Structure 1
Amino acid sequence: MASARKNLSTYDESNLPDATEYTIGVVVADWNEDITHALYEGCYDTLTKHGVKEENLHVVQVPGSFELPSGARILAGREKLDAIICIGCVIKGETKHDEYINNAVAQGLVNLSIATGKPCIFGVLTPNTHEQAVDRAGGKHGNKGVEAAVTALRMAELYRNKPEGKRSIGFGG
C-alpha cells in the first residue's frame, strides 16, 4: 500500500502481543543517517512501548543498506533472537544503483529469513527524493520504523508459537 494513503505510524495495538519476553535484533544503516536514525527512534519507541526490555534489544550499525543482510546474519549468530529488523534508506539517484541495492537487500533478507527460520523485517525506505524519505521517517506519512517494529512483533509472535516438530516445504527452523 502506498504510504501516501496510509500513515506508517498508525496501527491497531490490540493486534500486538505482549513482548516482554521477546529478544529483538535491530540493524541500522549509517548511510542517510538523518533518515535511518529517525526510523530507528520510531522503531525503538514502539518496541519498548509494547514491552521489549532494553536489555533484550540488540542493535548494530552497518555502513549502508547493502550491508544490512550481513549485519543481520552476524547478529543472528551472536544472539538468540525472535526477530531482526533491518533499517535503511536508499534514495534514487541518477543511475540504477538504487535498484541493485534494494533488490540485493530484499533478496538477502528473504534468504536469511528462510535459512534461519527467523523473521527478518525489511525496514528500508526506497524513496525517489530526500523529501520523500523525510516524509516517511516521522514526517507527514508517519514513520516506517514504527511499521517495521509492529511487523517484527507480530512475526515474533508467529515465530514463538509455531508448531513444534512440524516442517513445511522442507524448511526447518
Structure 2
Amino acid sequence: MSSADKNLSVFKTDGLPDISSRKFAILVAEWNSEVTEKLFEGAYNTLIQYGAEAENIERGNVPGSFELTTGSLWYALRRDIDAVIALGVVIQGETKHNDYINHAVAQGLTNVSLKTEKPVIFGVLTPNTMEQALERAGGIHGNKGDEAAMTAIKMLGLYSEVARHGSH
C-alpha cells in the first residue's frame, strides 16, 4: 500500500514490548533538513510516547542520505545500542542520482542490520517533489519518522520473542 493510501502515523500497537531500558540511535541526514528535522521529531516523539527514556535516545547527524549507511554501522556496532533508525530524504531530480542513492542506502542498511543482528530501520523518503516529502514528514500522509520508530519498537519485540524460543 502506498503512503498516498495510508497514514504513516497510524499503526497497530497491540503487544508492544517494554522499551524503557532500550537504547536507540537516530541518524538524521542534514540534506533537506526542513524535512529530516520533522522526521526526527516524529521518530523521537513516538519513541518517547511508547516508553523510551529520553536519555536512551542518541542522535547522530550525517551530511546526506548516502552517509546513513556508514553512520548506522558505527552506531549498530556499539554494544549499548539496541536499534538504529536512519532518517533521510532523496528527492527525484533531473538526473538518476536518486535511483543510485536510494538503492545503495536500502542495501547498505539491510547489510548493516544483517551484520549486527540489530534492527536498522530505513526511514528514508523517496518522493518526486519537496511537496510530497513534506506531506510524508508530518503532513497529510503522516510522518515517516513515526513509522520508522514504531518499526524499531516492533522489531525489538520480535527479536525478544524469537530469542525466548531459540538460541539467540
TM-score range, shorter chain: over 0.9
Q: Indicate the percent of aligned positions where both proteins have the same amino acid.
A: 52
Please say if residues 86 and 124 of structure 1, whose CA atoms lie closer than 8 Å, have aligned partners that are also in contact.
Answer: yes
TM superposition score normalised by structure 2: 0.94
Determine the structure 1 residue equivalent to 2:6: 6
State the Cα distance separating 1:165 from its structure 2 match.
9.6
Q: Which residues in structure 2 correspond to 1:68-83 (within 5 Å)?
A: 68-83=68-83
Give the SS at the match of 1:163: helix
State the Cα distance separating 1:73 from its structure 2 match.
1.0
**1:83-126 CA-partner distances (Å, limit 9, x unpaired):** 11000000000000000000000000011111111111000000
Which amino acid counterpart does residue 36 of structure 2 have in structure 1? T
1:51 aligns with 2:22: no
What is the distance in 1 between the residues matched to 2:130 and 2:33?
12
Q: Which runs of 5+ in 2 are unaligned?
A: none
What is the distance in 1 between the residues matched to 2:92 and 2:67?
18
1:105 aligns with 2:105: yes
Root-mean-square deviation (Å): 1.6
Determine the structure 2 residue equivalent to 1:114: 114
Determine the structure 1 residue equivalent to 2:96: 96
TM superposition score normalised by structure 1: 0.91
Determine the structure 2 residue equivalent to 1:21: 21
Determine the structure 2 residue equivalent to 1:170: none
Please say if residues 76 and 112 of structure 2, whose CA atoms lie closer than 8 Å, have aligned partners that are also in contact.
Answer: no
Q: Which runs of 5+ in 1 are unaligned?
A: 168-172
What is the distance in 1 between the residues matched to 2:18 and 2:109?
25
